Structure 1
Amino acid sequence: MDVVAAALERIERADPALCAFTEVWDADALRRAREVDARVAAGERLPLAGVPVAVKGRHGLRAAEPLLAAGGVAVGATSVPGPGTPWQTWGLGARGRTVNPWRADRTPGGSSAGAAVAVAAGLVPLATGGDGAGSVRIPAAWCGVLGLKVTNGRLPSPDRTGLAAPGVLTRTAADAAAWWRAVARPDAPVEPPPSLPLPALWSPDLGFAAPDPEPVALARAAVGRLVDAGVVRLVRPVRPSVPVRLLDPAPAWLALRTPGTDLADAHRVRAENDRRLARLFTGVELLLTPTAPTAPHGHEGPGDVYSTALTWAFNVSGHPALSLPAGFGTDGCPAGLQLVAAHGREALLLAAAREAERRGATG
C-alpha cells in the first residue's frame, strides 16, 4: 500500500501544474492496495502486486482489467483531448490543458497525453494507452518515454474501424514487458531471445513524408547508437536512394474513419503497402524511422502539419510499433525513434528496447 500512497502523493503535488489526470481515485486505490497486500500475504502470486497504474480516459478501466487481475492498482484516469478538438495532439485534464513536463508551453502529444505525462513525470511507472494513428507513440516521443502499440486485432479494442490498438507507456522496457505479459493471451507463443545485432532498415520519411531536419537527425543519431552498441545492424537496401517507399496512408486512414466513404482506394493503398511491408520484413527484423515529423508544438496547435505522418501507416497496416527515447532537440524537448516489426512480434520490439537500455544506447 505504501507504493500506491506515495504515487497518490506525487499526483496531488504535481498534477495541478501538469494536468495529466481527469480523475484521481484516492480512496478506491488505497482500498484496492490493501486488498492486494492481503492477497500477497496469504500466498497469492500477483506479478504486478501493488503497481500504481494510470488508465487512459474515464472509460479506460476495461482495458486495464488484465493489469488489475495481476495485482495492479488503478490510481486515476489520464487526460485525452477535449470534445470538439481540432486536428492536433494535446490533452485536457481536470484543471486545464495538459502540459509537456519538459516545457509547459508545449503539448505532450496525444491522444494519450496525460498517460505520457504521468509516466514521464514519475507519477506512475505504467499507463495504458490506445493508438489509432500514433496516439501512444507520439506522446511517448515528445515526453521522452517508451510507448508500444501492439499488432492491430491482437488485443480487444472498441474501435469499429480496426485502426486502433491498445498500448502502454512506461519509463523502461522491463515495465512494458511486464504489461505485455499481463495482457497477452496465455497461449501466446514465447519467443526466444533475439540474435543480435538485428538486421534493420532506416527510413527518414517512409518515402512520402516531409519531416523536419532535427527530428530526423535525432532519430538517425539514435540509430547510430544502436549500431555501435550491437543492437542492430543496418542492411543495405536494394535501391540505396529509396530504402523504403510506402504509399501515403493519409487518404486511406481518413476514408476508413469516415462512415459512408467509398473505400475502394483505401483498400488499394492498404493492400499495396501491406505487400511492400511483407517483402521488407522477409529481409529485416526492424524498420526504423523518426517517431514524429516535428518537435512538440505549442498549445495553439500545429497548423497544417500532421504529427501522425510517420505513425499512422502502421495503424492502417496493423504492424506493432514502439517509440524509444532518442535524445533532446534544441528546444529542450525529447524526440523518439520508432521501431516497427512484423505482425505479432511485440516481444522482439521489447527485447530490442531492453538491449538498447541495457547497453546505454537510448537518448
Structure 2
Amino acid sequence: MNIAASLDAIGRLDPEVSAFVEVWAEEALARERSTCTGLPLAGMPFAVKGPSGIRSCAARRLTAAGAVAVGSTSVPGPGTPWQTWGLGAHGPTRNPWRPDRTPGGSSAGSAAAVAAGMVGLATGSDGAGSVRIPAAWCSVFGLKTTNGLLPSPDRTGLASAGVLTPTAADARAYLRCVLDTYEPVAPVLPLPAVWSADLGFADTEPEVAAVALAAVERLESAGVVRLADARPVLLDPRDAWTAVRAGRPARGAAVRAGNDRRLDALFADAALLLTPATPNRPHGHDGPGADVYSTALTWAFNLSGHPAASIPAGFTGDGCPVGLQLVAARGADVSLVEMAVAAERGLITVRP
C-alpha cells in the first residue's frame, strides 16, 4: 500500500470507523516524494497512536527508515473511568467487525485503522493491555515489547511501546527498524507451552475461553506447540498494578515478587504462556459494566515486564473477535514475533 492508497482508504472508511483524530494528507504526500527510495521502509504509510504519537521513539525510528506517518489515531476521550474505547474525529471509534462495539483501547484507533485496511502498521503503547486488547477485539496482531526495551514517557515503568499490524509477519519490519539489534531465528517446533484460561483468578467468559482453547488445540494438532500438564496460577495483579500506577509501588511489592517467581519458574521450562487476550468479548460504546476488567489477563505482564502479543484466535457465536495471548521470556521480543508467525500459520480463523 502506498500513501495515496492509504489516504484514499482513510477518506472512504474513516467517517464510519472514526479511527483517526488527525489526517496529515499533504504532509504525507510531500514526505513520500522526498523520501530516499533506498531506505528499508521507503514510502510505507503508518499511523501513530494519539496526538503525541509522532514524537515517540518508535515513530521517529520508523520515519528514519523511510516510513511515512499519515495521521494520528484515536485514544479514550477525557473523563472516562474506563479505557477500552476511543474518540476519533467522527465520534466514538467503532469496531470494524461489530460497529456496535468498541475496538478496545487505549490504542483504539490504531487497531481499528489496521483492521479496516486503512494502514498496514500503527504504533501503540501498552500499560495494562492497551495494545493487546484492541488487537484481540479487532482480530489483528498486537505486540507489547519488553518493558524498558524502548524509551517510554511513563515514569511508573508499566507502559511499553507496541505495534499493531494485520499479521505477526508484518510486525517484523517494525522490529527491524526500532531495535538496535535484530537477529531472528526460526523457532524449533513444537514449542513447549502452558495454557491457562484465567491465570487462576480472572472471570473469563466461557465462550471466550472456549474459542481461545480451540485455537490452542489446533496449534497442538498442527505441531506448533506441545502443551504441558501444568496450569499456571498467578496472584491477582489488580491492586498491585493500581498501587504502582498511583506512585506507591511498595504496596504491590509482595504480589509483584510472587508473580515474578512463578513466571521465572514457568519460563525455565516453557517457551510460551498461552491465555485468552481478554476475559470478555468487545463491549458496547457505553462501557464494559461495573467491575468488568478487560485488562484482567494482560496487566500482570506490564508489572512483570514480559513481552506479550495477541493473535487472532477466532470468533464468538455473535461475531466478536477473540485473541490468543502469547507471553514469552523477558527480552525475547524477536523470538516471540517468530513464534507468533508460526502460530498464525497453524491457525485458520474464519468469521462465522
Match of 1:143? 138
Match of 1:20? 19
2:242 aligned counterpart, secondary structure: helix
Q: Is 2:245 the counterpart of 1:257?
A: yes
Q: Which amino acid aligns with 1:300?
A: D
Compute the TM-score of the two structures, normalised by the length of structure 1: 0.93
The 1-side partners of 2:228 and 2:174 are apart by 31
Match of 1:34? 33
Match of 1:152? 147
Shift in Å at residue 191 of structure 1? 4.6
Match of 1:108? 103
Note the alpha carbon deviations across 1:98-150, whole angstroms, 9 max, x for none.
00111111000000000000000000000000000000000000000000000
Shift in Å at residue 85 of structure 1? 1.4
The 2-side partners of 1:9 and 1:206 are apart by 43
Match of 1:192? 185
1:330 aligned counterpart, secondary structure: coil
Shift in Å at residue 362 of structure 1? 5.1
Indicate conservation of the 8 Å contact 1:229/1:356, yes or no: no
1:61 aligned counterpart, secondary structure: helix
Q: Which amino acid aligns with 1:292?
A: T
Match of 1:276? 262
Q: 2:334 aligns with which of 330, 343, 347?
A: 347
Note the alpha carbon deviations across 1:315-334, whole angstroms, 9 max, x for none.
00000000010101122111
The 1-side partners of 2:284 and 2:270 are apart by 37
The 1-side partners of 2:175 and 2:214 are apart by 28
Indicate conservation of the 8 Å contact 1:148/1:169, yes or no: yes
5+ residue gaps, structure 2, are none
The 1-side partners of 2:314 and 2:101 are apart by 17
RMSD: 1.2
1:282 aligned counterpart, secondary structure: helix
The 1-side partners of 2:346 and 2:271 are apart by 19
Q: Tell me which moved more, 265-274 or 314-323.
A: 265-274
Indicate conservation of the 8 Å contact 1:23/1:77, yes or no: yes
Match of 2:234? 246
The 1-side partners of 2:188 and 2:94 are apart by 40
Shift in Å at residue 358 of structure 1? 3.0
Q: Is 2:128 the counterpart of 1:133?
A: yes
Compute the TM-score of the two structures, normalised by the length of structure 2: 0.96
Indicate conservation of the 8 Å contact 2:135/2:164, yes or no: yes
2:336 aligned counterpart, secondary structure: helix
Identity %: 64
Shift in Å at residue 265 of structure 1? 3.1
5+ residue gaps, structure 1, are 238-242
2:174 aligned counterpart, secondary structure: helix
1:254 aligned counterpart, secondary structure: helix
Indicate conservation of the 8 Å contact 1:225/1:362, yes or no: no
The 2-side partners of 1:91 and 1:24 are apart by 16
Note the alpha carbon deviations across 1:188-241, whole angstroms, 9 max, x for none.
5x253221110000001111111110110010011011111111110122xxxx
Note the alpha carbon deviations across 1:289-312, whole angstroms, 9 max, x for none.
000000100011011201000000
